């Protein structure tokens, strides 16, 4: 259905009376009806098939988000880099590691969860290289 038809339908008084009167939300106090004249929309949005999911902000910049329960959280730049690298490796069909990447993975295997500083010392990598990987 074209968006124009949906907007026309939503603006009709009959639609509003029919749907607003039947939609209720649930709170800790029990069911609650929307205030008179309110238009309530419920959207079901499937999980994104590719990451990062980005949104254009009011200032014109693009920002990546991820979802936890019912919250949208701004993604850290390192997460965005990781998602893009994962997408590139999936597109290429295989994964090839450079020497610094291999050293970093080996250190993670030996140490387990570690801070960037610990990995930098262990692998003799600069902060920029460690974060880029």
pLDDT tens for 55-81 read 888 898 999 988 888 788 899 988 888
CB 37 within 8 A of CB 13: no
CB 16 within 8 A of CB 39: yes
Determine the Cα–Cα distance for residues 73 and 76; give it in Å rounded to an integer.
Answer: 9
CB 81 within 8 A of CB 133: no
Determine the Cα–Cα distance for residues 26 and 108; give it in Å rounded to an integer.
Answer: 45
Greatest Cα-to-Cα distance within the chain, rounded to the nearest angstrom: 69
pLDDT tens for 28-59 read 555 566 677 777 777 777 888 888 889 888 89
Global pTM?
Answer: 0.41
Determine the Cα–Cα distance for residues 122 and 107; give it in Å rounded to an integer.
Answer: 7
């Amino acid at each position: 259905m074209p968006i124009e038809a949906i907007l026309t339908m939503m603006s009709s008084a009959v639609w509003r009376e029919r749907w607003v009167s039947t939609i209720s939300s649930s709170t800790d106090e029990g069911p609650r009806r929307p205030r008179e004249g309110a238009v309530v929309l419920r959207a079901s949005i499937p999980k994104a098939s590719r990451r990062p999911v980005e949104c254009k902000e009011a200032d014109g910049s693009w920002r990546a988000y991820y979802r936890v329960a019912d919250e949208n959280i701004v993604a850290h730049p390192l997460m965005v880099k990781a998602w893009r690298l994962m997408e590139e490796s999936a597109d290429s069909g295989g994964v090839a590691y450079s020497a610094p990447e291999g050293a970093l993975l080996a250190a993670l295997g030996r140490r387990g969860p570690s801070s960037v500083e610990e990995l930098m010392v262990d692998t003799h990598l600069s902060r920029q290289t460690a974060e880029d990987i």
